[in-house]
């Protein structure tokens, strides 16, 4: 049974990394549209990718937030920002790419956030 817990934690980590990348890409694409330089794109990608997860972690009692404990989050946001900066023309070919990326990020973080909240003992339903 212990291997299942490890696999489950790994799945949750990968969901978090996927959501972080997608939201970082979304933020990076908005920065490119505003014609920011590489530094600005990476800063906006980092803010878009990590702020929601940090607030979620603080709200459920996971202190300090995962983004502050695990440097993988910052590496993923850096990669997302670089991807947006250098491949924005290719990404813009998609129909409404920022809206699509936001939808993918929200879906991924909904699953990951729900699982993390359940792990921290929060009830599955909202209080009445």
Please provide the DSSP assignment of the chain as one string.
-HHHHHHHHHHHHHHHHHHHHHHHHHHHHHHHHTT--HHHHHHHHHHHHHHHHHHHHHHHT-SS-HHHH-THHHHHHHHHHHHHHHHHHHHTTSSSHHHHHHHHHHHHHHHHHHHHHHHTT--SS---
pLDDT per 10-residue tile (average), the chain, 128 residues: 65 90 95 97 97 92 92 97 96 90 90 86 78
What does the pLDDT read at residue 9?
76
Q: What is the largest CA-CA distance in the chain?
A: 51
What is the per-residue pLDDT for 42? 97
Query: So what's the pLDDT on residue 127?
Result: 72
* Dist. CA 63–CA 22, nearest whole Å: 24
Q: What is the pTM of this model?
A: 0.86
């Amino acid at each position: 049974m212990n291997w299942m817990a490890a696999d489950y934690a790994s799945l949750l980590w990968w969901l978090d990394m996927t959501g972080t990348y997608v939201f970082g890409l979304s933020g990076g694409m908005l920065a490119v549209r505003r014609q920011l330089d590489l530094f600005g794109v990476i800063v906006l990608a980092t803010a878009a990718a990590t702020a929601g997860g940090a607030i979620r972690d603080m709200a459920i009692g996971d202190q300090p937030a995962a983004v502050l404990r695990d440097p993988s989050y910052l590496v993923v946001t850096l990669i997302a920002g670089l991807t947006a900066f250098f491949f924005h023309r290719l990404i813009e070919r998609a129909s409404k790419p920022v809206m699509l990326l936001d939808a993918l990020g929200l879906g991924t973080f909904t699953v990951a956030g729900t699982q993390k909240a359940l792990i921290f003992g929060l009830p599955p339903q909202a209080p009445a």
